[in-house]
Amino acid sequence: MDLYWSLLLLMGLSSLSLVAAFDDTLEAPSCFELTDDKCPNSNISFWIYTKSNPNGTKGNVTNLSLLTPQRPLKVLIHGFNGNRDYTPNDQLRSLLLGRDYNVVSVDYANLAKEPCYYEAVLNAPSVGRCLGRMLRTLLYHKIVKNEDIHLIGFGLGAHVASFASNFLKEPVYHITALDPAKPFFLVSDLAKKLDPSDAKFVDVIHTDVMMLGLLDPVGHVDFYVNMGLSQPNCGAKNKMDTHACYHNRSAIYYAESLSSPTGFYGYHCSSFKDFVSGACSTKDDVQLMGLDVSPQSARGRYFLDTNDAPPYAMGRTNKLNRQVMGRTYVNDEIMKKMFGIGTE
């Protein structure tokens, strides 16, 4: 896919319009929006994984006890055109099981398949509602405690996590948003997207702020990796596949954080303008990004760079790339205006 497809998406056209814009001889795809709020739903499933059951079992109301009681629970939520074995599952699940966490992978593939992005956004609240019901059942039967629930959502899945948490009487303790999706989530109504009130602690990793992911902070702490503008070795900056690589890299960085002896350390800066101008120092507030982020002290925007190839973590470094020009498909004049460069 080239850049034009994505631009059409950002303009607010439905997935049906995207197809028609290129070939009016194509049959309409089987895109659909759920018409009821019933849970369980045949299009939404939950797969249970434990260290002793790494291949997983499809969950239902009778076998949720397969989860090891009172163990921390990590819920992995895929994004658009994903499934229970796609990002962030393929990067994270085995590593989390290795730490003896309970893992639940949400699968709503039929509701978020390509090219039905518009319908996927409409279906996301229903997926969140059914996930919320499942979590409520776990809490009621005391299989898990609220403070042990950690939702990890990628792209569209980050917003699904927010809808699930809002369904509960008390928000979950922790949501991690891996490059939360931008298209159709540039709205002012916080009930329709991820925001800090959705959990007691929300940490966010931004890796594609110019296209598929959100630019604005939406968590208690927001980490901008390589400024969120581009990620190394992903391809030409004007190709859609390149932005998909940027987007997916958020899960790869998070996965590396589980075992990295070096660590991803971000440096606090109140704005992009201050970061680009060098107004904030790398000697000031520093926070670790990833699974071991501090819910107590990590607040605000943090910036960090990576190596060009794995291992990506650079640890603590004073060498940060503050250049924005030429790193994206957007021309320099727009970038200057967007990030306040050269203005008072």
The structure's pTM equals: 0.92
| Furthest C-alpha separation in the chain | 62
* Token representation of residue 262: 């070096």
Sheet with 300-304, edge to edge strand ranges: 53-58, 45-50, 102-107, 73-77, 149-154, 172-178, 199-206, 221-225, 300-304, 264-268, 286-289
Does residue 1 have a pLDDT over 70?
no
C-alpha span between 77 and 128 (Å, rounded): 10
Q: Which residue has the higher pLDDT, 343 or 159?
A: 159
Does residue 333 have a pLDDT over 50?
yes
Which residue in this structure is represented by tokens 């009172």? Answer: 70
C-alpha span between 217 and 224 (Å, rounded): 9
Q: Out of 26-40, 140-154, 237-251, 313-327, pick the least confident.
A: 26-40
Does residue 247 have a pLDDT over 80?
yes
Does residue 156 have a pLDDT over 80?
yes
Does residue 8 have a pLDDT over 90?
no
Q: What is the pLDDT of residues 184-226, one digit of tens each?
A: 999 999 999 999 999 999 999 999 999 999 999 999 999 999 9
C-alpha span between 206 and 178 (Å, rounded): 7
Domain ranges of the chain: 3-338
The per-residue b/e assignment along 273-309, b for 16 or more CB within 10 angstroms, e otherwise, is: eebbeeebebeebebbbbbebeeeebbbbbbbbbeee
Q: What is the pLDDT of residues 73-90, one digit of tens each?
A: 999 999 999 999 999 999
Does residue 19 have a pLDDT over 80?
no
Percentage of the chain beyond pLDDT 70 is: 91
Does residue 3 have a pLDDT over 60?
no
Could you tell me if 111 and 142 are in contact, meaning their C-beta atoms sit under 8 angstroms apart?
no
What pLDDT score does 341 carry?
74
DSSP reduced 3-state for 257: helix
**Alpha carbon separation from 63 to 47, 114, 143, 225, 248 (Å, rounded):** 11, 32, 11, 40, 32
Q: Which residue has the higher pLDDT, 1 or 247?
A: 247
C-alpha span between 140 and 163 (Å, rounded): 19
Q: What is the pLDDT of residues 54-67, one digit of tens each?
A: 999 999 877 888 99
What pLDDT score does 342 carry?
64
What pLDDT score does 339 carry?
79
What pLDDT score does 63 carry?
86
Q: What is the pLDDT of residues 255-273, one digit of tens each?
A: 999 999 999 999 999 999 9
CATH of domain 3-338: 3.40.50.1820
Q: What mean pLDDT is predicted for residues 240-255?
A: 97
